[in-house]
Amino acid sequence: MNLNEFTINKSQCELYKIRHQSGMYWADITLDYKDKTGRIQIASDYGSWQNYWGACGCSFKEFLTKIDMWYFAGKVGESDWFDSDATHKRIKKDIIESRRGNDISEDEARDLWDVVNDMFIDICGKESYWHHAYDNDKLWRFYREPYAYPCITDISPQFKRFWNEAWVVFINQIKEEITDLQLDLDNEAEYTVGNRRMYKKEIKGKKERIKELGFNYDDLIY
């Protein structure tokens, strides 16, 4: 590979340092953006994530204020966390419903109940769950088809905590910046309009004075 084919550019980024008074919770959020594109990098005690957007449809900071938790979690790989407790409860619910419908006997239901409780002691993630579930003959006979096995996923707890705590602080700061910028733009626009009015009034006065002297203003300019 020819190293001369590479290019390198240096840009300035914005770093937001979020700290809790207890010293226990922190997040460093870095923004590298231009116009309607941008990258966000997050290093925190909640976790570390980053993502790039090439077409936001609005300014990058405004875009960040509009996204929701599920969308962002999906972008950084935190929306497919295996919920072991919820999956465990769902299987037990299926056993209860099958017993009520007389699809399985009382002894079969009790046996399955114990098997499932023992199985979830050793489960430590989605892959572990599928391994134990498919390897269990009694559970296989109960569900019969792979697609029938419940597998409940959710946004990871650590990302939820980040979103409900540090992210809220960050977005409030961004919204404040956007509001301040809009006020500055409005004041600048108002100032510009005021200047135009003053200029027109000044020109009108000059025209009247020049006319009193017997000259034409346009003739003197051109």
Number of domains comprising the chain:
2
Percentage with pLDDT > 90 across the chain = 71
Residue 93 counted as domain residue? yes
Q: Say what the pTM is.
A: 0.76
Q: Which domain holds residue 198?
A: 183-221
Residue 163 counted as domain residue? no
Residue 215 counted as domain residue? yes
Shared domain check, 99 and 144: yes
Residue 10 counted as domain residue? no
User: With 80 as the cut, is the pLDDT of residue 212 above it?
Assistant: no
Q: How confident is the model at residue 1 (pLDDT cuts 50, 70, 90)?
A: confident
Which residue, of 112, 136, 154, is where some domain finishes?
154
- Which tens digits make up the pLDDT trace of 49-66? 999 999 999 999 999 999
Which residue, of 154, 174, 205, is where some domain finishes?
154
Residue 34 counted as domain residue? no
- Which tens digits make up the pLDDT trace of 155-168? 999 999 999 999 99
Q: How confident is the model at residue 127 (pLDDT cuts 50, 70, 90)?
A: very high
**Residue whose token pair is 């301040």:** 180
> In degrees to the nearest 10, what's the CA dihedral of 185, 189, 194, 196?
140
Nearest Cα neighbor of 42 from 58, 57, 29, 56 is 29
Mean pLDDT of the chain: 87
Nearest Cα neighbor of 158 from 81, 88, 87 is 81
Shared domain check, 89 and 142: yes
Edge-to-edge strand ranges of the sheet holding 14-19: 14-19, 26-34, 37-44, 48-53
Residue 47 counted as domain residue? no
Q: How many degrees, rounded to 5, is the angle at CA 206 between CA 202 and CA 212?
A: 150
Residue 122 counted as domain residue? yes
Shared domain check, 192 and 146: no
User: With 70 as the cut, is the pLDDT of residue 173 above it?
Assistant: yes
Alpha-carbon torsion (135, 140, 144, 145), positive or negative = negative
Q: Which of 49-58, 115-124, 177-186, 194-203 has the lowest mean pLDDT?
A: 194-203
Shared domain check, 203 and 148: no
> How far is residue 83's CA from residue 213's CA, in Å, rounded to a whole number?
90
Residue 171 counted as domain residue? no
